[in-house]
Amino acid sequence: MHATIRRYEGIDVTRIDDVVGKVNETLVPKLRELPGFTGYFLVEGSSGVLSSLGLFETSEQADQSTMVVSKWITDEKFDSVIPSPPKITTGRVVAHSDRVLAVA
């Protein structure tokens, strides 16, 4: 399994709810359609920070998700809301737990 972590900083805090809503509405369905998709999580930090974790079977599939997300930001016209490219960490998952709690 391979993971891609993206950290977005400087997000317009007045638009975070818009971004989160569109992630659930339009981005997650696109990611689910990708080969090798095994999971996606979005974490709201403080002061205009969002971080995401995407899980895929191979590194190539994880890389493809980065292209999908980049295009999604442009298509949804979030370029001004998300003003700078994310800091990306990608690699092989070397430890994990299968138990995931329900998100409220």
Model pLDDT, residue 40: 95
Hey, CA dihedral for 17, 24, 34, 73, is it positive or negative? Answer: negative
- Asked if residue 20 lies in contact with residue 99, where contact means CB atoms within 8 angstroms, the answer is no
- Asked if residue 10 lies in contact with residue 83, where contact means CB atoms within 8 angstroms, the answer is yes
DSSP 30-58: HHHHSTTEEEEEEEE-SSS-EEEEEEESS
Model pLDDT, residue 47: 87
- The identity of residue 38, as a single letter, is T
> What residue segments make up the domains of the chain, in order of their start?
2-92
Please state which CATH class domain 2-92 belongs to.
Answer: alpha beta
d(CA 102, CA 104): 6
Banded pLDDT at 96 (limits 50, 70, 90): confident
Model pLDDT, residue 103: 59
d(CA 80, CA 13): 12
Asked if pLDDT for residue 97 goes beyond 90, the answer is no
Q: What is the pLDDT of residues 27-71, one digit of tens each?
A: 999 999 999 999 999 999 988 899 999 999 999 999 999 999 999
Average pLDDT over residues 12-24: 93
- The identity of residue 34, as a single letter, is L
Query: Residue 89 in 3-state DSSP?
Result: strand
Model pLDDT, residue 100: 64
